[in-house]
Amino acid sequence: MKNAFLILIIAVFAFPACENEIMPKPEHLIKEKKMINMLVDVHLAEAAYNHIRYDSAMINSRTENFYYSVLDKYEVTDSLFEQSLVYYESHPKNFEKMYRKVMSRLSEMEQERSGRKEELLKFEEEE
C-alpha cells in the first residue's frame, strides 16, 4: 500500500513535466500580449480592492466587480479568460516568461508611482 501511494505521488508530479500538450489550445485564445496586459490589470484591480475594501463607501463592493471590470475593459468573457489562463498555465516555461513580464510591468508602475524611477534615471545620468 505504501509503495502504491509513493507511485501515485510520483505519477502526479511526473505527469505535468511531460512535454505533451496537456490543455488543447482554445479556439479563441487570448493573444499573449493581451493576456499579459489583462493579468497586470487583474493584479491592479485586486490591489485596489484590497486597499479600499474597508472604506465605508465601498463596504458592499466585491472583488468580482473589480475582476469583471477588467474583463469589460478588454471585452473578454470570463470563460474565455479562464480557458486562456488554463492553457497558458499548462505550458509552465512560457507562462513563467509571461508572468515575469507582468511582474516587471507592475514593478515599473510602482517605481513610477513612488518617484523612484526618476531617481534611478537621475542616478544613471550622473554616471
What is the per-residue pLDDT for 20?
55
Q: Which residue ranges in the chain fall short of pLDDT 70?
A: 1-22, 53-63, 116-127
Name the grid cell of 96. Answer: 513563467
| Distances in whole angstroms, Cα of residue 60 to Cα of each of 45, 52, 75 | 16, 11, 25
**Tens-digit pLDDT profile for residues 59-79:** 555 667 778 889 999 999 999
What is the per-residue pLDDT for 76?
94
In the chain, % of residues over pLDDT 90:
42
What is the per-residue pLDDT for 62?
65
**C-alpha span between 108 and 100 (Å, rounded):** 12
Q: Rounded to an integer, what is the distance from CA 75 to the centroid of its chain?
A: 17
Q: pTM of the full predicted structure?
A: 0.67
Single-letter amino acid code for the residue at 71? L
Contact residues for 107 (Cβ-Cβ < 8 A; gap 6+): none
**C-alpha span between 111 and 109 (Å, rounded):** 5
What is the per-residue pLDDT for 2?
42
